[in-house]
Amino acid sequence: MRILLIEDDRLIGDGLNVGLNRLGFTTDWFQNGEDGYEALSSAPYDAVVLDLGLPDKDGLSILKDWRKNKHNEPVLILTAQGDVDQRIIGLDSGADDYLSKPFALAEVAARLKALIRRSSNCLVPEIRYKDIVFHPDTKTVEKEGKLVVLAPKELMLLELMLMNRNKVMSKDILENKLYSWDEEVQSNAVEVHIHHIRKKLGKGIIKTINKIGYIMED
């Protein structure tokens, strides 16, 4: 899941950026409003973490402009402790949830997962596909009741395919979901991840559509 993070406080931003990446998210971090505002149109983000107090362009203006321009990505706003008026205005302006500073990384991650599940209409605690069970909250996979260990990018790719069953996913879309702008991407990275998933979970789990992409069919 790819997250857009807009936070000008270097300490908070760095902590969220590093922490969310360790928890299995792909994160692009921007420290000013203008760059963060433009970023949402440049990559397929699953959710946004937005601070309201930003230089250049404040968070509320960013949020209102996004909603005005039909950007429907779920937005988690960050506000100062006790700033009730800002929270209310933020929610009225189109935010999906809010957190007051200071906050725990685990809560940010949990709220992002909930927002993404809600926006994807995937509210069940587990996703079943044939003899495979995927647990979104714990990022664990079972095959025929036995735990299967997947690498972080393999887990992200599997979750993407499960949440988009019966839909062809191109290589470009998968790359953009799996990797941030700061990460180097090998030309065959997606193919390698899919090869490993097939090796661990079965050859037929993900089908290749020649010259188009990949699909997980019911």
pLDDT at 93 over 90: no
What percent of the chain lies above the pLDDT cut of 90? 65
pLDDT at residue 60 above 80? yes
Distance between CA 69 and CA 105 in Å, rounded? 30
pLDDT digits (tens, 9 = 90+) for 94-116: 999 999 888 999 999 999 988 98
Long-range contacts of 177-186 (CB under 8 A, 24+ apart): 177/1, 177/2, 177/26, 177/44, 177/46, 178/2, 178/26, 178/153, 179/26, 180/2, 180/26, 180/27, 180/28, 181/28, 181/43, 182/28, 183/26
Residues in Cβ contact with 189 at an 8 Å cutoff, skipping those fewer than 6 apart: 153, 175, 178, 179
Q: What's the pLDDT at 26?
A: 92
Query: Regarding the domain delimited by 127-215, which CATH topology (the fold level of the hierarchy) does it fall under?
Result: Arc Repressor Mutant, subunit A (1.10.10)
Pick the CATH number of 2-119 from 3.90.550.10, 3.40.50.2300, 1.10.10.410, 3.40.720.10: 3.40.50.2300
Rounded CA gap, 214 and 176, in Å? Answer: 15
In the chain, list all ranges with CATH 1.10.10.10.
127-215
What's the chain's average pLDDT?
90
| pLDDT given for residue 125 in this prediction | 72
Residue range(s) of every CATH 3.40.50.2300 domain in the chain: 2-119
pLDDT, one tens digit per residue, over 190-217 is 999 999 999 999 999 999 998 899 999 9
Express each pLDDT in 124-151 by its tens digit: 678 899 999 998 878 899 999 999 999 9
Q: Give the pLDDT of residue 5.
A: 97
Residue 122's pLDDT is: 64
Of residues 104 and 87, more confidently modeled: 104
In this prediction, residue 82 has a pLDDT band, given cuts at 50, 70 and 90, of: low
CA 193, CA 179: separation in Å to the nearest integer?
A: 13
Mean pLDDT of the 51-61 span: 88
